[in-house]
Amino acid sequence: MKQTFRILLVEDNENDIELTLEAFTQHGLSENIDICRDGAEALDYLFYKGNFANRTIENPILILLDNKMPKVTGIEVLKIIKQDNVLKNIPVIMLTSSDIDKDIIESYNLGVNAYVVKPVDFEEFIEAVKTLGLFWITLNKVPR
C-alpha cells in the first residue's frame, strides 16, 4: 500500500482521536492520518487557509468526520466539501456516536458517502475501521 496518501480525521475529542489512531495503527495506517480538531480547522486544511495556507501535502483520499464539534459541525463541513468542485469527489464518511435519524437523513441529502456509528465495543470499533479502510482506500475508485 502506498504510504503517501492522506486520510483526514476531523475529531474534537482527544480520547476518540487516540482510540481511532490506535485502530489505524493496528492496520498500519497511523502514518497516513492528518488530524483536525474541529470543523473550522478542517476547512482551513481543505482550503489552504490559516495554519494550512502553505500546505504542501496533497488532498486526502478519505475524510472521516465527527458531527458534534465546536464552531463548525461535521454536517456543515460536509456541506461545504460537497459544494466544492474539486473536493466533492473525496469520499466523506460521517464517523460519529450519533444515530439521530435527522442527522443521518441530512448527511445523505448532502451527499455523504457513508454514515458509521462508532461501536461502543472497542474490538468492534477496530473491526469497523479495518472494514472502512479496506473498502474506501483499497476497493473504492474515485474520479481522478
Q: Long-range contact list for 115-118, CB < 8 A, 24+ apart?
A: 118/16
Give residue 78's region: left, alpha or beta (phi > 0; psi -120 to 50): alpha
Residue 106 in the binding site for another protein (CB under 8 A)? no
Task: Give the one residue of 19, 21, 87, 104 binding another protein; rule: CB under 8 A.
Answer: 19
As given in the structure block, the three cell numbers for residue 92 are: 466523506
Size of the site for another protein (CB under 8 A): 18
Of 39-47, 80-88, 115-123, 134-142, which part binds another protein (CB under 8 A)?
115-123
Closer residue to another protein, CB minimum distance, 16 or 44: 16
Residue 98 in the binding site for another protein (CB under 8 A)? yes
**What is the H or E stretch that residue 93 is in?**
strand 92-96
Touching another protein, residues 26-85 (CB under 8 A): 68
Residue 97 in the binding site for another protein (CB under 8 A)? yes
Is the CB of residue 137 less than 8 Å from the CB of residue 129?
no
Cα gap 15→11, rounded to integer Å: 10
Of 1-9, 13-21, 105-113, 130-138, which part binds another protein (CB under 8 A)?
13-21
